[in-house]
Amino acid sequence: MSHNSDVLVVGGGPVGLIFAEEVGKRGIDITVFEEHQEIGIPSHCAGLVSIKGLARIGVEPPSECIESTINGAEFYSPSNICFRVEFKRPMAFVLNRMKFDQFLAKRALCSGVKIFSGRKAVNFLKDRNKIAGVLDNFDNEFRSEITVSAEGATGQLVEKAGLDPINRSQLIPAIQFELCNVDVEEHIVQVFFGKKYSKNFFAWTMPTGKDTARVGLGSKKQDNYEKLETFVNERFRNAVRTSVRTGFIVTEGPLKRICTDNFLSVGDICGQTKPTTGGGVVLGGIGANIAANAVMKSIENEDTKHSALRRYYERKLHDKLGREFFTMSATRKILNSLSNDTLDKIFKALVSSNMMNEIDELSDMDFQSYAIKRTLQKIMKRNVIFSVIMDMIRNFFFGQT
């Protein structure tokens, strides 16, 4: 059986759905593949998304998608030094990702998008060596002018399209528990740095109600389940676990080439996530909106070759997010090299600085380059930078400290 559409999207997560809605409401025939039987299930995301970022991508989630509203955060050093920030206004939502994804699916359907659940793209269809759609897991042919990969971190189509994929050896495995019967501040997230819980990322707690929370960590080269068990036992002795979720965090930054003739990629699969935290809804959504405009221009001009997609998509994305990706990627590399002792020194410097007076100026969870710059200025004034440089040198020659 054969189906035809102008655009085919592989992946029914937030980024794929945002892209599809934007294209569909312009009257272009578009189809979305989702390999799972139901949109939003299973969920692999912590669900913390900035309110400003959602506004940037034109998404206002209904109240039933919001589990908690966040107006502050606590950051803990390896020796438990706490740097606390509170904002004058709500900064983020902790979202129920199943309900949020299904909300985005309804918006896409109302824009004329067709969604096929339980469909997996197993290979490309080719016409004169050009991508002309995909073959699904039931041997059905889905033909399109442009195919879009929004598969997520472990997708295969980018490589099959002849582009370099993200380095899967650099993906950070993550695990998360849903807990009840916990003592948490309802509007404060917590982040824990140091090798005790995570060798090369961090641990977190996110309130989802008055006595419920989402608790997780990510790291390579350790038993994450055992580490999270230790974390929960130390921090939440009376907690009751209600579910366990696993996934991968992308922190390597964006791929250089994200499109070719009749094909482009968006979201996690091409590294459109924050290298500092792995969050991908907002930056992926920005990429999706730019990609949607690129696809519409390419179809209108009857030019879906790499040169057109590169001009309309790759270059505009770099202009919009290039500096942010570069700064966050560099910061992630530095953070991965720091010893517990240096992290403690940085926390002491931040606590003793007057940074709290600037916190509202720095409160952009998605465009972080200014906040990173100001933080570096603070720690350089307190002679911490020497310890940072020494850690980076040791890490370069001998591996992580």
Q: What is the pLDDT of residues 283-313, one digit of tens each?
A: 999 999 999 999 999 999 999 999 999 999 9
Q: Which of 217, 204, 221 is nearest to 169 (CA)?
A: 221
pLDDT confidence tier of residue 45, bands split at 50, 70 and 90: confident
Quick check: helix, strand or coil at residue 1?
A: coil
Is 166 buried (19+), middle (13-18) or exposed (0-12) by CB count in 10 A? buried
Q: Which pLDDT score, from 0 to 100, does residue 397 have? A: 66
Region 126-132: what's the mean pLDDT? 92
Boundaries of every domain in the chain = 2-47+97-167+253-322, 68-94+169-249, 330-398
Q: Which pLDDT score, from 0 to 100, does residue 73 have? A: 94
pLDDT confidence tier of residue 59, bands split at 50, 70 and 90: very high
Q: What is the CATH number of domain 68-94+169-249?
A: 3.30.9.10
Distance CA(13)–CA(287), nearest Å, equals 14
Distance CA(262)–CA(371), nearest Å, equals 38
Whether residue 1 has pLDDT greater than 70: no
Q: Which of 67, 63, 74 is nearest to 48 (CA)?
A: 67
Q: Which pLDDT score, from 0 to 100, does residue 378 have? A: 77
Whether residue 201 has pLDDT greater than 90: yes
Distance CA(210)–CA(193), nearest Å, equals 25
Whether residue 357 has pLDDT greater than 70: no
For residues 17 and 357, which has the higher predicted lDDT (pLDDT)?
17
Residue 127 carries which DSSP code? Answer: E
Summarised one tens digit per residue, pLDDT across range 162-199 is: 999 999 888 999 999 999 999 999 999 999 999 999 99
Q: Which pLDDT score, from 0 to 100, does residue 276 have? A: 96
Summarised one tens digit per residue, pLDDT across range 205-254 is: 999 999 999 999 999 999 999 999 999 999 999 999 999 999 999 999 99
- Examine domains 2-47+97-167+253-322 and 68-94+169-249 and report if their fold is the same: no
Distance CA(292)–CA(276), nearest Å, equals 26
Distance CA(198)–CA(382), nearest Å, equals 26
Q: 145 is written with which tokens?
A: 């002018």
Q: Which pLDDT score, from 0 to 100, does residue 363 have? A: 75
> Could you tell me which residues come within 8 angstroms of residue 285 by beta carbon, excluding any fewer than 6 positions away?
14, 15, 18, 53, 56, 57, 59
Q: Which pLDDT score, from 0 to 100, does residue 318 have? A: 96
pLDDT confidence tier of residue 65, bands split at 50, 70 and 90: very high
Q: Which pLDDT score, from 0 to 100, does residue 149 have? A: 98
Q: What is the CATH number of domain 2-47+97-167+253-322?
A: 3.50.50.60
284 and 265 Cβ atoms separated by less than 8 Å: no
What is the number of helices (H) and of strands (E) in the chain?
11, 18
Q: Which of 325, 216, 339, 228 is nearest to 276 (CA)?
A: 325
Whether residue 400 has pLDDT greater than 70: no
Q: Which of 28, 18, 82, 21 is nearest to 54 (CA)?
A: 18
Region 133-151: what's the mean pLDDT? 95
Distance in angstroms between the alpha carbons of the first and the last residue of the chain: 56
Q: Which pLDDT score, from 0 to 100, does residue 350 have? A: 86
| High-pLDDT (> 90) share of the chain, % | 83
